Structure 1
Amino acid sequence: MSLINSYSQSLPQASSSTSNTSAVTKSSVQSTTTTTTGNPFLDSIRLPEESATPEANDQMLKQEDFFALLSQQLSMQDPFEPVDNDQMIAQMASFSTVDGISNLNDEILNLNTVMSSSQALQASGLVGRKVLVPSDTGAISTESPNINGVISTPSAMDTITVSVEDQSGQVIKTFSVDGSDGGNVDVSWDGLDKNGAPVEEGLYSIKASGKVDGEAQELAVSTYAHVSSVSLGTTATGAILNLRGVGGIKLTDVLAVSET
C-alpha cells in the first residue's frame, strides 16, 4: 500500500520534470533553428545576420570629459601621495588654454567670412569703372576701342619705344613716348595698326623698352581694364574683379582706379 502511494505521489513530480525538460528542449530547438539549419552545407552558405552599426562618436575631448577624467584621477590617487595643487591647476589652465584657442579659431573663421562678404560689397562699387592691373595685355572691343596703360621707368629717359603685339606675337604698330619725367609714364594706343586701320577685336599686348645707363632694357607695363562684375571669391583670394575680355583678378592686385 505504501509502495503504491509513494509511486502515485512521485508521478506528478516526474511529469513536471518531464514537462520542464521538454520546454527547455523546445526552447533550445527554437533558438537553434533561428541560427542554424542542421545542415552544415546550408549553414556555410547562409548570409550573415545584419548587425547594428553603432553611430560614430565624436573623438574630441570636451570640457565635460576633462572634468570627468580629473574626478577619476582624484578618486584613484594615493592618499599618502596626493596630486599637488599646482599640478592640478596647471592641468586645468592648459585645458582652458586649448579650449580658448579652439573657440578663437572658430571666431576667426566667422570673421573671415564676414570680411569677404564686406569686401565683395565694397568691390561692387567698381563695376563699370576701369582699374589699373599689373598686366601688359588689354582688350580691344566695340565698347573699348583703345588701350591705356602706365609704363614704369627706373629713371628718366629721353625716348621710350612702344610696340603693340597681337595674340600671335606679331607687331601691329610701333611708336615712341616721352620718358624725360621718369617714374610712371602714361601710354595710350588708339587701336589702329601701322596703316591707320582699326584692328580686330581681341587681346593685344603693349611692350615698352628704353635705354637705362646706355643699355636697352624692357620696362614694366600696366594696363587699364573695364570691370564688368565682381565675384565673392574665397577667404584666401578675397573678392575677384571680372575684367572685360581679360578675365578675373584679385581686388588686392589692383594698382589704381580710373574715373572712366
Structure 2
Amino acid sequence: MSLINPLSGAASPQSTQSSPSQVQSNNAGTGSNQVSKESPVLDPMRLQTEQAVPEQKGQELTQEDFFALLSQQLSMQDPFKPVENDQMIAQMASFSTVDGIAKLNEEILNLNSTMTSSQALQASGLVGQKVLIPSGTGHVSAEDQQVKAVVTAPEQIEEITVRVEDDKGQLVTTFKVDGSAGGNIDFTWDGLNSKGEPVPEGNYSFKASGRVDGESQELAVSTYAHVTSVSLGSATTGAVLNLKGIGGVKLSDVLAVAES
C-alpha cells in the first residue's frame, strides 16, 4: 500500500521507487502497443451523454395541437382583417364535435365488449341443450343415434320426400313425411340406412322435396344440434355456440331451443 503525504500530496519515495526487474517485467507485460482498458464505472456516465430518441407521436391531433394551431393563426393574421368571431367559434365548435365523436366511439366499443360478455354468460345456459339451426346437416353419434329436424312447407303438401346423404354425397336412405299441416313440420330420422342397419357416426345431410302447384320443389330443412360449449366471440359476431360434430354457429342464428 502506498502512503500519501497529506501536505504535499506526493507519494512516499519508498513506494514510488521500483527496482529495475519490476520495471522490466511491467514493460514486458504491456509491450510497445499499450491498450488502455476503460473502466466499467464510466459506462453509465457515457450512456448519459447519448442523445435520447424522441418518442413518435400519434397521427391524431390532440386538443393541445388544436390550440397551438389556433395560436399560430391568431399571431399570423392580418391586424387590419382579423378573424371574425363567428369563424373562430365555428372552428372551436368543429373541433369539439370531432373530439366528442371520438370519445363516443370509444364508449360504444366498451359497451359492445360488455354486451358481448353478458351475452356469452347468458348463452352458457344453453350448454347441454339442443338448438335448431338453419342447416340441413345433422350429426349422428354413438350416444344419440337419432336426428331431429324441421322441414318448412310454403303450403299444405300431402307427401314430402326426405333424402338422407352421407358426407360424401351418397344416398343413405329416403322416407316420407306428412306435410298436410303445412308450415314447419317436425320429423325424426332413426339413424338407420335403407337396409335397417345403424349408420356410422358422422354428419348427414337432409334434402326434402314436395310438389308445390303441381311442380316438384326443394324445401328448406333445419336440424337440431347439441350445444357443447359457448365461445365469447367478438363485438361483430357475438356469442358463438359450439355444436357437437357441426362446429360453431352464432347465437343470433338459432331458431329454437329444445330439451336435450
> Is TM (by shorter chain) over 0.5?
yes
Find the residue that maps to 1:65 and give its secondary structure. helix
TM-superposed CA distance for 1:59, in Å, is 3.0
Q: Look up the match of 2:259.
A: 259
Q: Look up the match of 2:154.
A: 154
CA distance in 2, matches of 1:77, 1:205: 75
Q: Look up the match of 1:91.
A: 91
Q: Look up the match of 1:22.
A: none
Render the CA deviation track for 1:44-101: whole Å, top value 9, x for unaligned: xxxxxx9754321233211122122222322332222111000000000000000001
Q: Look up the match of 2:172.
A: 172
Render the CA deviation track for 1:215-246: whole Å, top value 9, x for unaligned: 11111100000000001111121111000011
CA distance in 1, matches of 2:196, 2:250: 36
CA distance in 2, matches of 1:107, 1:226: 36
Q: Look up the match of 1:244.
A: 244
Render the CA deviation track for 1:110-137: whole Å, top value 9, x for unaligned: 1111111111111101000000001111
Q: 1:87-236 counterparts in 2 under 5 A?
A: 87-236=87-236
CA distance in 2, matches of 1:66, 1:169: 65
Q: Look up the match of 1:68.
A: 68
**Structure 1 or 2: more helix by fraction:** 1
TM-superposed CA distance for 1:187, in Å, is 1.2
AA aligned to 2:145 is P
CA distance in 2, matches of 1:65, 1:136: 58
Report sequence identity in percent.
Answer: 69
Find the residue that maps to 2:208 and give its secondary structure. strand
Render the CA deviation track for 1:152-188: whole Å, top value 9, x for unaligned: 1111110001121111222211111110111111111
CA distance in 2, matches of 1:102, 1:148: 49
AA aligned to 1:259 is E
Find the residue that maps to 2:249 and give its secondary structure. strand
CA distance in 1, matches of 2:185, 2:247: 25
CA distance in 2, matches of 1:76, 1:201: 80
Q: Which runs of 5+ in 1 are unaligned?
A: 1-49
AA aligned to 1:234 is S
Q: CA RMSD in A?
A: 1.4
Find the residue that maps to 1:236 and give its secondary structure. coil
CA distance in 2, matches of 1:225, 1:59: 49
Q: 1:138 to 1:68 in 2, by over 3 A?
A: same
CA distance in 2, matches of 1:60, 1:223: 50
Q: Which runs of 5+ in 2 are unaligned?
A: 1-49
CA distance in 2, matches of 1:257, 1:197: 30
Query: Structure 2 length normalisation: TM-score?
Result: 0.78
CA distance in 1, matches of 2:179, 2:115: 41
Q: Look up the match of 1:7.
A: none
Equivalent pairs, count: 211
Q: Tell me which moved more, 58-67 or 219-228.
A: 58-67
TM-superposed CA distance for 1:206, in Å, is 1.3
CA distance in 2, matches of 1:115, 1:203: 33
